[in-house]
């Protein structure tokens, strides 16, 4: 059993690593998808890579959360439902919807994501099982948790809707790129990332926990630099790219 003090220390170190990683990712493009480069060592099939790297987030989380002695905690029920909704899709469904036939990603990217998802699944699952506040009795009417869950679902819908537009751009065995349109693509290059950030903000509002804050910060660390890279890539690849689009945050960035 980890003490709360040590557990919080782990979370703060994890947040610290995220903060240090942010400026690095602003300089170094994450080499998967359109930014894949072959000088990052061994490569793995893209779909298989996505499946293997996202699965630990689901399995490790559920493993640690299953250690709970209080399944009738309202916060626990909401948090496990939201996490499972997201990760059953991300790990088990999303990889098989990708139209990336013949594409590969560096094994190092897959392994670093396995590490990230393992730590993230552990801290969030462990906190819910061991450190969750005990006064969240089943169906207690906690407005904050309902608001948080609503924010999560709104983010999830934004993320899904725009990922679907992207996946729908490719017909047959095409693996090229086009300018995406529709929905929030009117104002953003990466509304799918915007939705993902909103989701994990909602998850943080539900639990108000340090590990959920860490995940929210890490989502910003991962996705803001990548959105800026995508945005610049669109502008350089497509001379007619809409000039008013921002990268990830409406009207801001
Ligand atoms: P991208 O937007 O880069 O790509 C999503 C899919 O759409 C890929 O299959 C990509 O193909 C394809 N695609 C993207 N743009 C175009 C286009 N203009 N024309 C045709 N096809 C296109 O997303 P990521 O791959 O970076 O991420 C996938 C999901 O994972 C997102 O929902 C994201 O929010 C989530 N994610 C979450 C993270 C977190 O920390 N919480 C971290 C990273 C991702 P290709 O791969 O060939 O480029």
Distance between CA atoms of 75 and 206, rounded to whole angstroms? 7
pTM of the model: 0.96
Contacts (Cβ under 8 Å, ≥6 apart) of 207: 75, 79, 127, 128, 132, 148
Q: Residue 14's closest CA among 92, 110, 127?
A: 127
Instruction: Provide the Cα torsion 208, 211, 212, 216; round to 10°.
Output: 130
pLDDT in tens, the chain (253 residues): 899 999 999 999 999 999 999 999 999 999 999 998 888 999 999 999 999 999 999 999 999 999 999 899 999 999 999 999 999 999 999 999 999 999 999 999 999 999 999 999 999 999 999 999 987 666 666 899 999 999 999 999 999 999 999 999 999 889 999 999 999 999 999 999 999 999 999 999 999 999 999 999 999 999 999 999 999 999 999 999 999 999 999 999 9
User: What's residue 159's pLDDT?
Assistant: 98
Q: What are phi and psi of 170, to 5 degrees?
A: -95, 130
Rounded to the nearest whole angstrom, what is the distance from the C-alpha of residue 152 to the centroid of ligand 1? 19
**Ligand 1: which residues within 6 Å by Cβ?**
33-34, 98, 100, 103, 159, 163, 166-167, 169-170, 175, 177-178, 180, 192-193, 196, 218-219, 222-223, 226
Task: Give the angle subtended at the CA of 59 by the CAs of 78 and 113, to the nearest 5°.
Answer: 105
pLDDT score for 157: 98
- The span from the CA of 126 to the CA of 67, in Å, is 8
Those residues whose C-beta lies under 8 Å from the C-beta of residue 38, and which sit 6 or more positions away, are none
Taking the C-alpha atoms of residue 211 and residue 216, their distance in angstroms, rounded to an integer, is 9
- The CA 98 to ligand 1 mean position distance, Å, reads 9
Domain boundaries, the chain: 29-237
Nearest CA to ligand 1 atom 22: 166
Q: Strands 104-106, 43-45: parallel, antiparallel or unpaired by DSSP? A: antiparallel
Q: What atom in ligand 1 is closest to the CA of residue 162?
A: 32
pLDDT score of 37: 85
Task: Return the best residue to mutate from 177, 202, 226, 236 for the ligand 1 pocket (most ligand atoms within 8 A of CB).
Answer: 177
Ligand 1 centre and the CA of 72: distance in Å? Answer: 36
Per-residue confidence (pLDDT) for residue 142, from 0 to 100: 84
pLDDT number for residue 134: 81
């Amino acid at each position: 059993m980890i003490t709360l003090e040590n557990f919080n220390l782990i979370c703060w170190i994890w947040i610290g690593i995220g903060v240090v990683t942010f400026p690095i990712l602003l300089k170094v493009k994450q080499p998967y998808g359109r930014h894949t480069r072959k000088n990052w060592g061994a490569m793995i099939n893209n779909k298989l890579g996505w499946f293997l790297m996202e699965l630990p987030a689901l399995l490790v989380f559920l493993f640690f959360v299953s250690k709970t002695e209080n399944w009738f905690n309202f916060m626990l029920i909401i948090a496990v439902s939201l996490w499972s909704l997201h990760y059953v899709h991300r790990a088990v469904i999303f990889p098989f919807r990708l139209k990336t036939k013949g594409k590969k990603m560096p094994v190092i990217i897959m392994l670093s994501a396995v590490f990230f998802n393992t730590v993230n699944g552990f801290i969030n699952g462990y906190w819910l099982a061991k450190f969750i506040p005990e006064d969240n009795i089943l169906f207690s009417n906690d407005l904050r948790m309902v608001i948080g869950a609503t924010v999560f679902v709104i983010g999830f819908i934004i993320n899904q809707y725009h990922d679907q537009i992207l996946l729908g751009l490719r017909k047959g065995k095409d693996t090229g790129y086009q300018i995406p349109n529709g929905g929030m693509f009117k104002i953003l290059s990466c509304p799918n990332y915007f939705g993902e950030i909103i989701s994990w903000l909602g998850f943080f509002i539900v639990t108000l926990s340090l590990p959920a804050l860490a995940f929210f910060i890490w989502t910003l660390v991962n996705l803001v630099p990548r959105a800026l890279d995508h945005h610049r890539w669109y502008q350089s690849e497509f001379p007619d790219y809409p000039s008013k689009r921002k990268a990830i945050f409406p009207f801001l960035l």
